[in-house]
Structure 1
């Protein structure tokens, strides 16, 4: 059956390997152009739908997945790749428009409805990572951090210091980790000769994360469908910020709304994985540029840290480094940190 879907495989391969420049994150034409985010995404989505419509056997893909699911689970699911991608793209644009009207709750509802409709079809098709272990680096500027909790999430009594980040809103602590040390340092805009403390976290046991990267590997048919279906979301969450020093970043609207939907409606996921846009040359096919943002439970507490999250993680004691952008030096630091023994995270209950 594989040769029947060659055209789909090739399109997915080219998309995942950034070979179609018009659809390759981080979309520098947006960064350097004069279109606002709604105009840009509308144009991008329309070009994408046009390319999907050129896939001659896309109906065979829809029918093939329908029969596979029916055979193994006895469920009748109406697969339609072009329709699903457009439903999602239209909802993203409508959500942004509502947000621009000063109606963030309406923006949330528009996007949420897409994921809950049709017996949670969109949730069931989300691209995801399921792993028995996950590791990630975290850094803080300074040389005085010596406890693991110094590099844990912001304590609840200091939530006023929680800025607006790509996937988390003001005042809400999340735990951001990076696949590699260079990516973690890029995320904090590290400057040469400054001191940083670093640690590596390891998630204990199985973890499920929504995956908003483009995966450059051989995929099963349903994974290809999922990636192509959710390309509008991957694109909307992967735009580089145009105005870094401005208080409002429209590029954060959709990822923040989506993260809230995941937190509310998808308890099976521990968070979201995505590709950093902070590097000099962001590459959505480079898994070393991957970030993880984990939900922090118990944020209703007024003081301290999440003991629930601490129980799911181990980490090494922080080490202090002097930052420079020599990649060989950074890799040496990364290896040294990764080789350190991991220990449980001790939360002071007082």
Structure 2
């Protein structure tokens, strides 16, 4: 956290993803998710040896990503990326599961003359960056008692809200202090 700068990105259009995140019990009842479970699980295998150049755990996710890059339109609908569950999902932080979803959004157009993808610039706005340390210095995060609300999901959300991640996210949605800006295509 001490070495990260963060911004809030907000999409200006509805984004469409291939959903390879861990399905809920309700989604598992749908036949499409039953067929996808092997692929979903193969994308959740943690890397055993992070220092290795070749990581066999990435073979299937990379093949899926290569297929996606060649098939960004499905049934006339633009697909912007792939959503998948983080390999770091665990109960150590006791946060809601949706906080562990990663979204891989590759560029649409690679052009060496420009710094950014024109299409992605037209889709997103963002705030100026900040850091957790700067935000804590400006105004300390509120200190909450450990009076958990009722219900498992409410407890998980409460834990997230009072964490540095939740507090930082709360600061970034304050549009007076962090107004959204259009990304300038260069």
> Greater relative contact order (Cα 8 A, min sep 6): structure 1 or 2?
2
Matches within 5 A, 1:187-202: 190=1, 194-202=2-10
SS of equivalent residue, structure 1 residue 245: coil
Cα deviation for residue 334 of structure 1 reads 1.4
Deviations 1:29-60 (A, max 9, x none): xxxxxxxxxxxxxxxxxxxxxxxxxxxxxxxx
Greater share of helix residues, 1 or 2? Answer: 1
Quickly say closer, same or farther: Cα 1:322–1:279, change in 2 above 3 A: farther
The alignment's TM-score, normalised by the length of structure 2, stands at: 0.71
Structure-1 separation of matches of 2:16 and 2:165: 29
Count of residues in Structure 1 that have an aligned counterpart in Structure 2? 152
Structure-1 separation of matches of 2:28 and 2:20: 17
Is the contact between residue 214 and residue 227 of structure 1 (CA under 8 Å) also seen in structure 2?
no
Structure 1: gaps (5+ residues): 1-189
SS of equivalent residue, structure 2 residue 84: strand
Quickly say closer, same or farther: Cα 1:233–1:308, change in 2 above 3 A: same
Structure-2 separation of matches of 1:262 and 1:231: 17
Is the contact between residue 211 and residue 273 of structure 1 (CA under 8 Å) also seen in structure 2?
yes
Is the contact between residue 27 and residue 33 of structure 2 (CA under 8 Å) also seen in structure 1?
no
SS of equivalent residue, structure 1 residue 322: helix
- 1:226 paired to 2:36: no
Is the contact between residue 89 and residue 97 of structure 2 (CA under 8 Å) also seen in structure 1?
no
SS of equivalent residue, structure 2 residue 120: helix
Name which of 14, 34, 47 aligns with 1:206.
Answer: 14
Cα deviation for residue 303 of structure 1 reads 4.1
- 1:336 paired to 2:151: no
The alignment's TM-score, normalised by the length of structure 1, stands at: 0.40
Look at both structures and tell me which one has the larger radius of gyration over its CA atoms.
1
Structure 2: gaps (5+ residues): 137-159
Is the contact between residue 199 and residue 318 of structure 1 (CA under 8 Å) also seen in structure 2?
yes
Quickly say closer, same or farther: Cα 1:242–1:281, change in 2 above 3 A: farther
